[in-house]
Chain A
Amino acid sequence: MARYAMVMDTRHCIGCHSCTIACKIRNELPTYMIYNPVTTDGPHGTFPHLNMLFLPLLCMHCDNSPCVDACPTGASVQTENGIVHVVDKKCVGCLSCIMACPYGARYHNHETGAVNKCNFCLDRVEEGMRPHCVETCHQKARIFGDLDDPNSEVSKLISENRSFQLLQELNTDPCVFYIY
């Protein structure tokens, strides 16, 4: 069984937002639903002594996912390979998961009433393809793969580089790793 994860190479991310747009367009999301915004951390310092980093965000597909725990209807689920997603027809739009998610990765779809989120492009992954945001990245700053396979690119990148996860202190155990 695979454990899907994403590595963000902050050395290469250049803040172009291609992933944000690719996701929205391909998944036909309304304007207010942005599954993977790219944030700018900086510039820090005083001109001209500066540094700046781009941090692409998305659902962290946490091993210990508070959103799944918070869902009263069983609409928010996690597949065996770790992908957290919402079964639309079971979702009653109570928004509990939105409040539970510390990463702000869930959105209320005003048209369907359901809550939607990044699902690592589940349909594509099942066909052996990569998520749209990974495919579109010129900078190869997003790398997708299987954490359980020690020879996968994601495993190697994590073991060979310094990395961090967002809000590690909450013990959500995110499956998105930022290398730097």
Chain B
Amino acid sequence: MAKVVVVTSGKGGVGKTTSTAALGAALAQNGQSVVVVDFDIGLRNLDLMMGAERRVIFDLINVIQGSANLSQALIRDKRLENLYLLAASQTRDKNALTEKGVLQVISELRKKFDWVLCDSPAGIERGAVLAMKHADIAIIIANPEISSVRDSDRIIGLLDAKTERAKNGQEVEKHLLITRFDSSRAGTGEMLEVDDISDILSIPLLGVVPESKDILSASNLGIPVTLSNKNSTSAQAYSDAAKRLNKEDIPIIIPTKKRNFLAGWFSGRAA
């Protein structure tokens, strides 16, 4: 049974697209068939993150408008044969998405894949609402800062109100993925703590991805970090999060400040 996942946040720039690419690749590495769908019509980025920007001929809007069929628009990843991309249109805007068209595309994708990952645009408008509309699972991306957390809270409210599941009296399964967690600032009070964010949003934690240069270089190379640098801490965090989506029970590691010798000694003494 296919699972439709929306990766959403409300706020922009928190790492939705990066996370969609990394999680999609990680799920595909586990042997499941995955499609990542870019819903950010007019501001597409997922094709860049997947390194497929020169291979986009048809996109989601073409499929919705019937000028291409789904198999023509699906782009197979060059590294993983069970990973596909459905790109957004860069020349159109969000109004080109229709409710009926989205439903049709999602239903078709459900038949073909184990996982359908929808990369939501920022905001709470039409595009974001259509991206979450048919989701069974929502991954809410939040950064450790109050504006991001409040926007995420707003999005959770919308997930409980505007999705098909909510309208049918069911609940969308919600997971919190904290990204851009700066371990050097953890514990200093400059940044919200993981516990505070979990407490405010009161949804289960899927993982904590540290802020890292590996992610930036992976984005620039057009390779999801889970493929480009598998052993990096951020890739590990995404891989673990993907396994948790598959209901594997893996303890969550919260990145902490790298302690120098003395600090370690003192905290060891204090404990």
Chains A and B form a bound pair: no
Q: Which residues of A contact B (CB under 8 A)?
A: none
